[in-house]
Amino acid sequence: MTSAGKLAIHRAIIAVLVAALLALGWKFIVAGSTQKLADGRVAVMLAPAERALLLGEMRSFVAGLQTLADALAREDMKSAAAAARAMGSARSHDVPAAMMGKLPLEFKSLAMGVHGGFDTMALDAEALGLPKHTLAQLSDVLQKCVACHATYTAGTAAP
């Protein structure tokens, strides 16, 4: 085989590998593992343990929101900051990489926006000490929660 022929084969192999990497990147970074539902929402297809982890995190958010609302009602900004921080970006490290690959990009963006919003809320609650400001930030974060719940649901994929 000529060197030109070998070069053509190498280029073809590289092109196939690049295409495969792009497809995998699309699947695991952008598309995730989803299924469109009749009600218009998208089911994120997760293994039973992954679904349990996701739903458990959401339940802990509800408890954290109650703690935060109570602190704001009492104008206890130290407790409000602590409650917000507990729901911040540090929580996102609990998600296994395999599960992250199943989440579509918009879902991940909303989730990171929620966690980041709680981080900002905690910092501002400590620095500014203004309950109304923190309440407005909470409203912004909850809009992301509403958007996510209106768009997605947790489905169960076959193990």
pLDDT, tens digit (0-9, with 9 covering 90-100), for 47-75: 999 999 999 999 999 999 999 999 999 99
Average pLDDT rounded to a whole number, residues 126-140: 97
* 89 vs 141: CA distance, rounded Å: 13
- SS3 (DSSP) at 2: coil
pLDDT one-digit tens code per residue, 14-53: 766 655 555 555 555 555 789 999 999 999 999 999 999 9
Count other Cβ atoms within 10 Å, centred on residue 112: 13
* 72 vs 56: CA distance, rounded Å: 24
**Total-model pTM:** 0.78
- β-sheet bridge partners, residue 36: 42
Q: Which has more pLDDT, 132 or 5?
A: 132
Joined together, the tokens standing for residue 97 give 């990489």
Contact 135, 73 (CB under 8 A): no
- SS3 (DSSP) at 37: coil
**Pick from 114, 139, 120: nearest CA to 81:** 120
* 30 vs 6: CA distance, rounded Å: 35
Joined together, the tokens standing for residue 31 give 């598309």
Joined together, the tokens standing for residue 91 give 């929580």
